[in-house]
Amino acid sequence: MLPTRRVPLWSGILTLKYHIGEPESCFLPTKFWTPEEGDDIRQAIHNKGFAWVIQHGSLIDRIAYEPVRSEEGLRRTLLQLPSKKDRNLELWHESDDHLNVSVEGELAFVQWTKGAYGDGAPYMTTWTKKKASDYVEFLVGDTPTPIESGRCVPIETMVRVVLHYYNHRELLRERGLTWKAV
């Protein structure tokens, strides 16, 4: 039997069934998830044995959750970001540490957060030591946000950063790429 949860919504009660077993039923989309409900959904996926969960979408658009089943699946998802309407995602570990990834054109922005939002957690972003005189606008959360060009990396580098974090639970450090507190 599938776990269920009754969720109060503006229009009444919705009973969720957490379908985690089949790939086509892993997404739980709606426009009405509150942050607390999102936490509950991620936790339900973690409780099914998945250490990593991708949160697609944004708070003003549809939000969907998907367990990460393999490195290759995660790589495909990352490489598809430039073609998506909402070109960002969050990769959550069961510890609540997570990466926020946004893509604009050929560039990406990666932010790491220790723990859940709002608990005073430190935030760090990639830093390329480029002269950061201009800015690139990304959606960060739901807000169009100008990001210093020095914090931007090519999409290929973003994929390496995210896959390294997925495999090792540590931030990638390589020549020309460091991390800088926000």
Q: What is the token pair recorded at 27?
A: 């997404």
In a domain, 89, yes or no: no
In this structure, are 108 and 142 located in the same domain? yes
Q: Length of the chain, please?
A: 182
In total, how many domains does the chain have?
A: 2
Contact 64, 99 (CB under 8 A): no
Confidence (pLDDT) at 122: 67
102, 161: one domain? yes
Predicted pLDDT of residue 50: 96
State which of 54, 69, 84 marks the end of a domain: 69
Residues 61 and 109 in one domain: no
Q: Are residues 41 and 121 in the same domain?
A: no
Residue 117 pLDDT? 67
Instruction: Say yes or no: 121 and 174 in one domain.
Output: yes
What are the average pLDDT values for consecutive 10-residue runs of the chain, which has 182 residues? 41 38 45 74 93 80 84 97 88 93 93 75 76 78 82 95 96 89 81
Q: Based on the fold, state whether residues 55 and 112 are members of the same structural domain.
A: no
| Residue 77 placed within a domain | no
- Its domain, for residue 111, covers 95-182
Model confidence pTM above 0.85: no
Query: In this structure, which long-range contacts are made by residues 72-75, counting pairs with CB atoms below 8 Å and at least 24 apart in sequence?
Result: 74/162, 74/163, 74/166, 75/159, 75/163
Q: Is residue 90 part of a domain?
A: no
The confidence score (pLDDT) of residue 3 equals 47
For residue 142, is it within any domain? yes
Position 139 in a domain? yes
Q: Is residue 78 one of the residues assigned to a domain?
A: no
| 126 lies in the same domain as 177 | yes
